[in-house]
Structure 1
Amino acid sequence: MKRLTCIAIDDEPLALELIREYTSRCPVLNLLYTFEDAIQGAEYLNHHPVDLLFIDINMPDITGIDLVRTLTVRPMVIFTTAYKNFAYEGFELDALDFLLKPIDFARFSKTITKAVLYQEYRQQPKSVATESIYVHADYKLVRIALQEVAYIESFGDYVTIHLLNDKAVSSLMSLKKVLEKLPEKQFIRIHRSYVVPASQIKMVHNRKVSLNAGRELPIGNSYLPMVNEWLKL
């Protein structure tokens, strides 16, 4: 795999110096530029897409979170900050990780390994890539094998992916966003709160779906035509 191109944006010179040192110790990384000025960094990104962005959150002109929101082409993002309370907003933007200052090299290295794996996943042919998805859970990027999914449930701002081994993974995201990650023909939305794998449907009766794992889920009125259409296939 080719080296990951990256830039770093931070208004603290010492923080940028540390990023330069750490990236130099990771052969897989190619650090192109560092920026103390967030606006200059944003302008560079809008004209020169990169694979990976290290960015501070607390900066004088614009926060790192707001800057990432403005990007039309978004790289993998690693937020660096001295404050834990920004994690919620960061993961809302699908940040790859969150590094708390002062950054330890072992923790930095672990995050880069994650970035490499995620980049390899994104570059796989679609037929291979859709065998699994990545979601944020417990401040980590978690890989979910689609063949292990029993059903997916939405509750408020969270989704819970129930697995066939009776374990579950909860993530801060909408059901609509999960569906965008899933192969269209393999999963079907049966309710505003439920998505099920087509392969796990055992029976449809009385406006309910019976799953192979033994669970029964309701079919929403607005989704009934879609389920009936799927049954004709």
Structure 2
Amino acid sequence: MKLRCVAIDDEPLALSLITQYVAQFSKLELLQTFNDAIEGAEFLANNSVDLLFIDINMPDITGLELVENLSIKPMIIFTTAHKKFALDGFELEAMDYLLKPIPFDRFSRAVIKAIDYFDLKNNVKTESPQYLFVRSEYKMVKIAVADIDYIEGLVDYVKIHLLNSTRPILSLMTMKAVLEKLPSEQFSRIHRSFIVPNMNVKAILNKKAELISGKSIPISSSNQDFIDEWMKQSFTNR
């Protein structure tokens, strides 16, 4: 399945470059390009689009305003010559932010993230996702589900601790939101502040889950059912 793409930029040379870059990816189908933002907005309102490349600084309406007013938002990759717009772009949950002049390798990394995310969304009903996508430090981060040691909740943030890494990934999201992104049969919330991969629990002692990494995670009284489920899984997998 190809990603249906549209590019909007008031600079013809920028549109030409994006057209050339998109042509290098068999997974992408460029439906249309627009140098007029209003015409582009009308097309988006009447057509199904998966990925939008859009300049931020345009006359009549900015790329930020256009995206903000879309009733159905595709994945967004902003392109601009101005770094100052980066934060605003990510507040609109952009997939990535490319600074002009855009080198192909940087464009490629942004597109691969979009393709991976697209495939994840379309395969979620048939198979367990292998990757978790979160926003951290103004960029979209791809995390292999198998690399997660445990997840810790900190008010409005989550800390995703990884195996073989001393630096956790910090993301502005709730525990409920991150749990919904994970395969339910592989992860459990055992405490209001902790989510663990079931297979990484090697022992349970004194209402604490001992992980293969050596970390000890408390199991709250409201999540005691996890102990029974873990024991059943452990017995079944012998």
Q: TM-score range by the shorter chain?
A: 0.7 to 0.9
Alpha-carbon distance in 2 for matches of 1:160, 1:147: 16
Q: How does 1:1-233 map to 2 (within 5 A)?
A: 2-124=1-123, 126=125, 128-137=127-136, 141-155=140-154, 158-174=157-173, 175-201=175-201, 202-203=203-204, 205=206, 208-218=208-218, 224-225=221-222, 227-233=223-229
Alpha-carbon distance in 2 for matches of 1:182, 1:6: 27
Q: CA contact under 8 A between 2:86 and 2:97: conserved in structure 1?
A: yes
SS at match of 2:127: helix
Stretches of structure 2 that go unaligned for 5 or more consecutive residues are: 230-238
Question: Shift in Å at residue 162 of structure 1?
Answer: 0.9
Which residue type is aligned with residue 124 of structure 1?
Answer: N
Alpha-carbon distance in 1 for matches of 2:167, 2:65: 32
146-155 or 195-204, which moves further after superposition? 195-204
Calculate percent identity across the aligned residue pairs: 49
Which residue type is aligned with residue 109 of structure 1?
Answer: S
Change (3 A) 1:128 1:61: same
Question: Shift in Å at residue 167 of structure 1?
Answer: 4.1
Change (3 A) 1:180 1:20: same
Q: CA contact under 8 A between 2:19 and 2:30: conserved in structure 1?
A: yes
1:193-213 deviation line (CA, Å, top 9, x unaligned): 32222333332635x544332
Alpha-carbon distance in 1 for matches of 2:60, 2:4: 25
The normalised TM-score by structure 1 is 0.78
Aligned residues: 227
Question: Shift in Å at residue 57 of structure 1?
Answer: 1.9
Q: CA contact under 8 A between 1:122 and 1:129: conserved in structure 2?
A: no
Aligned to 2:236: none
Alpha-carbon distance in 1 for matches of 2:41, 2:170: 29
Stretches of structure 1 that go unaligned for 5 or more consecutive residues are: none
Which residue type is aligned with residue 198 of structure 2?
Answer: A
Question: Shift in Å at residue 44 of structure 1?
Answer: 2.0
1:16-64 deviation line (CA, Å, top 9, x unaligned): 2332343345444322222233343233223211121101122344443
Question: Shift in Å at residue 124 of structure 1?
Answer: 2.8
Alpha-carbon distance in 1 for matches of 2:25, 2:143: 27
171-180 or 124-133, which moves further after superposition? 124-133
Alpha-carbon distance in 2 for matches of 1:172, 1:62: 31
Change (3 A) 1:136 1:71: same
Question: Shift in Å at residue 231 of structure 1?
Answer: 3.1
Q: CA contact under 8 A between 2:190 and 2:226: conserved in structure 1?
A: no
Which residue type is aligned with residue 130 of structure 2?
Answer: E
SS at match of 1:49: coil
The normalised TM-score by structure 2 is 0.77
Q: CA contact under 8 A between 2:132 and 2:145: conserved in structure 1?
A: yes
Q: CA contact under 8 A between 1:158 and 1:170: conserved in structure 2?
A: no
SS at match of 1:5: strand
1:93-114 deviation line (CA, Å, top 9, x unaligned): 4422211011123322343344
Q: CA contact under 8 A between 2:156 and 2:172: conserved in structure 1?
A: yes
SS at match of 1:128: coil
Which residue type is aligned with residue 4 of structure 1?
Answer: L
Change (3 A) 1:129 1:36: farther
1:146-180 deviation line (CA, Å, top 9, x unaligned): 23211112346543211222344414331333222
Which residue type is aligned with residue 231 of structure 1?
Answer: I
